[in-house]
C-alpha cells in the first residue's frame, strides 16, 4: 500500500475517514546501548495473543502479553475484521509479528529479546484510552521487564 | 500514536508504517514506510529473506541522532500490484442450489483440516470460541440454532463474554476452519479465491449469512456490530 491513491476506492475512503493525530515533533528516547546489547520487544496492533488468552473485541483498548518463549503455533489473532485478508497471517504470523525472525537475530548475536512482547487491537477509531491509560501501562511493563526497544508493527 | 506513547514512557521505538500519509501527520519517533498491503507489514508470508531486510531497515533507524525519522523501504510496489478489496458475502452469488447441510460439511472440513495441521506444524487460527477443531461441529450446531431464532447458547461460552461477541468468535472459528482446510488442498490460494468459495459454494457460508441476518435484525448495537463482523 504505497500511497492512498493506489488503493481500491473503498479502502482509500475508509482510511481517509480515520481520525489521525496531527503532531509537531515527536518524543525521543535514545537506545541505552548498541543494538547488540539491547532487549527488543514487538508491540503490535494486529490483535494477537496466546492461544487460550482472552480474545480482543472491536474497540478493546487493552493489551495482551505474549511471552517471548511462546511457541509460534500458539500465537493467534482475534483481530478478525473482514476488511483485510487474514490468509497471510494464517500462513505466517511473522508477516505482522516477526518473532521467528527476531529469534534468528538473537542466535546471530544481533540483538536480545525482551521477556515479552505485546499486542493491542487494531482498527481503533477512539484511541484516547490507549493514549492515556493502556499505552503508558504497557510502557511501564516493558521498562519493568527490562525491554530497551520496541518494534511497533501494524495489522 | 502508540510509538509516541511508548517513547514518552522511556522505550526507544521503531515502527513499520503502511500508510505514509498518516505517518507524516502522526510523527512517530522512527518509522519505516513499506509498500505492502494491510496484513503484510513485514512483506509476504514465508519470505524470511525479505522479512529480515525489513527488520534490518527498521532497526537501523535506532541509530538516528534525532527525530522524527521517516524513511522509505527501498523496494517499491509495482503499479497495479495492490490486492483488491476483500471479497464480502454481499458480492458473491451463492451456488444454486446452495449447499444446506453445514454440520455434515463441517465434519468433512475437519478431516481436511488435519492436513493443514500437518503442514503448519500444528498452528491453527481456530482459537476464539475456546472449542478445539474436533468440536467445531458443536459450534456449527450452535450457530444453526442461533440463526433459527432460538435461545441458543453453548456451555463453553465464558460467562463474561456476551452472546453476540461469542457468536462472532464462533463464526470466526468456522471461517478459520474452512479457510485452513482450503489452504491444505491449495496452499497458494489467495484470500479472495477462498472467500468466493466460502460465500458461494459452502453450506457454512449460507449459515453465516443467516447468522448475520438475525444479529442485524436486533436493535441492540452490540448485536449489529457483531453482524458487521460476521458478514457484509
**Residue B71 backbone dihedrals phi, psi, to 5 degrees:** -120, 145
Q: What is the mean pLDDT of each run of 10 residues along chain B (232 residues)?
A: 96 95 93 90 94 98 96 73 76 90 95 94 93 94 95 91 95 96 94 95 97 96 93 91
Say if the Cβ atoms of A23 and B4 lie within 8 Å: yes
CA dist., res. A143 & res. B123, Å (int): 31
**Residue B183 backbone dihedrals phi, psi, to 5 degrees:** -65, -30
Q: Residue A59: its pLDDT value, please?
A: 87
Say whether B188 sits in a helix, a strand or coil: coil
| CA atoms lying within 13 Å on the CB side of residue B148 | 10
Does A106 contact chain B (CB < 8 Å)?
A: no
Q: Residue A1: its pLDDT value, please?
A: 42
Best of A4, A8, A28 to disrupt the B interface by mutation (most B CBs within 10 Å)? A28
**Residue B14 backbone dihedrals phi, psi, to 5 degrees:** -140, 135
CA dist., res. B154 & res. B143, Å (int): 10
- Residue numbers in A near B17 (CB within 8 A): 154
| Nearest beta carbon to residue B27 from set A15, A25, A91 | A25
Binned at pLDDT 50, 70 and 90, residue A130 comes out as very high
Residues B63-107 have pLDDT tens digits of 999 999 999 998 865 544 566 678 899 999 999 988 889 999 999
8 Å CB contact between A151 and B14 = yes
Sequence-distant (≥ 6) Cβ neighbours of residue B6 within 8 angstroms: A43, A135, A138, A139, A142, A150, A152, B13
Q: Residue A83: its pLDDT value, please?
A: 72
Rg (CA), chain B: 21
Give contacts of A 31-50 with B, CB under 8 A.
31-32, 35, 38, 40, 43, 45-46
Instruction: List the single residue in A with minimal CA-CA distance to B85.
Output: A8
CA dist., res. B163 & res. B169, Å (int): 10
Say if the Cβ atoms of A101 and B8 lie within 8 Å: no
Cell numbers linked to B96: 444454486
Binned at pLDDT 50, 70 and 90, residue A2 comes out as very low
Residues A89-103 have pLDDT tens digits of 999 999 999 999 999
Say if the Cβ atoms of A95 and B77 lie within 8 Å: no
- Residue B98 DSSP label: P
8 Å CB contact between A154 and A45 = yes
ipTM reported for the complex, 2 dp: 0.92
Q: Residue A8: its pLDDT value, please?
A: 63
Does A25 contact chain B (CB < 8 Å)?
A: yes
Inter-chain contacts counted by CB atoms under 8 A, chains A and B:
262
How buried is B108 (Cβ within 10 angstroms: 0-12 exposed, 13-18 middle, 19+ buried)? exposed
Say whether A2 sits in a helix, a strand or coil: coil
Residue A148 clears pLDDT 50, i.e. is over it? yes
CA dist., res. A113 & res. B115, Å (int): 33
Is the pTM here over 0.90, yes or no? yes
- The distance of B45 to chain A (nearest Cα, Å) reads 5
- Residue numbers in A near B55 (CB within 8 A): 98, 101-102, 105, 151
8 Å CB contact between A149 and B14 = yes
Cell numbers linked to A77: 489473532
Cell 476506492 -> residue: A9
Residue A116 clears pLDDT 70, i.e. is over it? yes
CA dist., res. A117 & res. A36, Å (int): 18
| Nearest beta carbon to residue B5 from set A74, A135, A154 | A135
Q: How many CB atoms are closer than 10 A to CB A146?
A: 11
Q: Residue B83: its pLDDT value, please?
A: 61
Amino acid at each position: 500500500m504505497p500511497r492512498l491513491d493506489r488503493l481500491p476506492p473503498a479502502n482509500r475512503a475508509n482510511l481517509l475517514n480515520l481520525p489521525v493525530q496531527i503532531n509537531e515533533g515527536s518524543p525521543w528516547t535514545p537506545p541505552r546501548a548498541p543494538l547488540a546489547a539491547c532487549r527488543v520487544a514487538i508491540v503490535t496492533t494486529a490483535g494477537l495473543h496466546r492461544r487460550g488468552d482472552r480474545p480482543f473485541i472491536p474497540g478493546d483498548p487493552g493489551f495482551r502479553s505474549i511471552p517471548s518463549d511462546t511457541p509460534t503455533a500458539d500465537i493467534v489473532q482475534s483481530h478478525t475484521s473482514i476488511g483485510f485478508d487474514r490468509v497471510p497471517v494464517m500462513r505466517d504470523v511473522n508477516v505482522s509479528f516477526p518473532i521467528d525472525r527476531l529469534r534468528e537475530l538473537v542466535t546471530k548475536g544481533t540483538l536480545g529479546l525482551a521477556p515479552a512482547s505485546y499486542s493491542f487491537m487494531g482498527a481503533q477509531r477512539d484511541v484516547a484510552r490507549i493514549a492515556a491509560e493502556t499505552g503508558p501501562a504497557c510502557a511501564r511493563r516493558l521498562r519493568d521487564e527490562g525491554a530497551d526497544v520496541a518494534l511497533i508493527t501494524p495489522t | 500514536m502508540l510509538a509516541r506513547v511508548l517513547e514518552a514512557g522511556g522505550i526507544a521505538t521503531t515502527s513499520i508504517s503502511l500508510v505514509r500519509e498518516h505517518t507524516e501527520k502522526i510523527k512517530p519517533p522512527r518509522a519505516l514506510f513499506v509498500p505492502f498491503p494491510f496484513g503484510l507489514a513485514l512483506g509476504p508470508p514465508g519470505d524470511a529473506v525479505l522479512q529480515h531486510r525489513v527488520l534490518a531497515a527498521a532497526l537501523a533507524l535506532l541509530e538516528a541522532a534525532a527525530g522524527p525519522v521517516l524513511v522509505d523501504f527501498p523496494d517499491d510496489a509495482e503499479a497495479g500490484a495492490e490486492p483488491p478489496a476483500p471479497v464480502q458475502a454481499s458480492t458473491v452469488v451463492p451456488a444454486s442450489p446452495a449447499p444446506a447441510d453445514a454440520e455434515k460439511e463441517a465434519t468433512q472440513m475437519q478431516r481436511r483440516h488435519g492436513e493443514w495441521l500437518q503442514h503448519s506444524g500444528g498452528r491453527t487460527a481456530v482459537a476464539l470460541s475456546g472449542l478445539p477443531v474436533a468440536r467445531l461441529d458443536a459450534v456449527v450446531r450452535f450457530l444453526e440454532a442461533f440463526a433459527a431464532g432460538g435461545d441458543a447458547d453453548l456451555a463453553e461460552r465464558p460467562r463474561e463474554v456476551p452472546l453476540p461477541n461469542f457468536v462472532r468468535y464462533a463464526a470466526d472459528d468456522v471461517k478459520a476452519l474452512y479457510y485452513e482446510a482450503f489452504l491444505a488442498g491449495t496452499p497458494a490460494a489467495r484470500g479472495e479465491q477462498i472467500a468466493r468459495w466460502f460465500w458461494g459454494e459452502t453450506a457454512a457460508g449460507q449459515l453465516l449469512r443467516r447468522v448475520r441476518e438475525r444479529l442485524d435484525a436486533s436493535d441492540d448495537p452490540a448485536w449489529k456490530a457483531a453482524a458487521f463482523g460476521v458478514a457484509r
